[in-house]
Amino acid sequence: MKEPFYNFIRTLQDTITKKLEQVDGKALFKEDEWTREEGGGGFSRVLENGNVFEKGGVSISAVHGALPPAMQTYFKVGDLDFYATGLSLVIHPLNPMVPTVHANFRYFEMYDKEGTVMDSWFGGGLDLTPYYLFDEDATHFHTVCKSVCDRHKVANYADFKQKCDTYFHNTHREEGRGIGGLFYDYCKATPEFTMEDWLAFQMDMASHFLDAYVPIVEKRKDLPFTNAQRDWQEIRRGRYVEFNLVHDKGTLFGLKTNGRIESILMSLPPRVQWRYDHQPAADSEEARLLEVLKNPVDWI
């Protein structure tokens, strides 16, 4: 699985970055190739200070080596080797009417010291984090997710949507990070499904990321906004940072495996606010967003 999937994400990185550059019309992605001392490396592409996107990162990596003790404990395994590859992206728009988006598509293997594969699985997903809620945008994003799931017997939209709402949840705030999408992990071969089935779904979903996100950007990027709305965007970005640094398993894995810190923290927004006990005005659009984040909606 690892060779066809890695080749796929290499091409997909080009496709996504070219399209986002076209939408932005000003900023270009800069590529930073890096290597990991213990084995492997990757290509991080970052865009900053564009017309549409304040910051965006689209990274791919393929790392391998001995599984660190902390991760042995996490996976409840012994002294094994691992291989992990994936594409991860986060896009932070300038206009608060345009949502932030995150996506990750990954593959993982573990081996014994003789090189025998002991376990392997796919994982990933995509999710939307709006600052001002347009119901039709949420429905569009989820409809693309569901239509891909419906094409593959391995995928269950309702299950993956519920897992997304559960995972991307700031439990210390009792609110979701955004309005969800899909989240799936430890997707393995079974008597019913093969790894080829999972690979086909993974590639199909990743290939439709742009279809899920770009139409929303095109519709909202030129809407007017106020300084107060920009402040709200930066306050909500603070919640995004909290999730990534407190709860996110991908961040934890990168830090525990001596990953490249700039690539791991690429997802953090450039401008953020934390205001003490900030509460939106009653019956405002900001208050409506918070209500949805506390009570996930079935958008389809």
Nearest to 57, CA basis, from 272, 265, 209: 265
Check residue 296 and give its pLDDT: 96
Place of tokens 């495996």: 257
Q: Is residue 118 assigned to a domain?
A: yes
Q: Is residue 171 assigned to a domain?
A: yes
For residues 84 and 64, the answer to whether their CB atoms sit within 8 Å is yes
Q: How many domains does the chain have?
A: 1
Identified catalytic residue from 64, 102, 140, 169 = 102
Task: State which residues of the chain have pLDDT below 50.
Answer: none
Specify the CATH number for the domain of residue 86: 3.40.1500.10
Summarised one tens digit per residue, pLDDT across range 157-208 is 999 999 999 999 999 999 999 999 999 999 999 999 999 999 999 999 999 9
Check residue 256 and give its pLDDT: 78
207 exposure class (CB count in 10 Å sphere: 0-12, 13-18, 19+): middle
Q: Is residue 58 assigned to a domain?
A: yes
Q: Is residue 299 assigned to a domain?
A: no
Q: Is residue 230 assigned to a domain?
A: yes
Task: Please tell me the distance from the alpha carbon of residue 70 to that of residue 77, in angstroms, as a whole number.
Answer: 10
What contacts 43, CB < 8 A, 6 or more positions away? Answer: 13, 31, 32, 33, 34, 59, 60, 61
The full 3-state SS of 66-89, as one line of letters, equals ECCHHHHHHHCCCCCEEEEEEEEE
Check residue 155 and give its pLDDT: 98
Tell which phi-psi region holds residue 161, choosing left (phi > 0), alpha (psi between -120 and 50) or beta: alpha
* Six token digits for residue 89: 């992206």
DSSP 279: -
Check residue 267 and give its pLDDT: 86
Q: Is residue 300 assigned to a domain?
A: no
The reply to whether 92 belongs to the active site is: no
Q: Is residue 77 assigned to a domain?
A: yes
* Six token digits for residue 233: 């965007």
Write out the residue range of the structural domain in which residue 150 sits.
Answer: 2-294
Q: Is residue 187 assigned to a domain?
A: yes
The Cβ of residue 284 has, within 10 Å, a number of other Cβ atoms equal to: 11
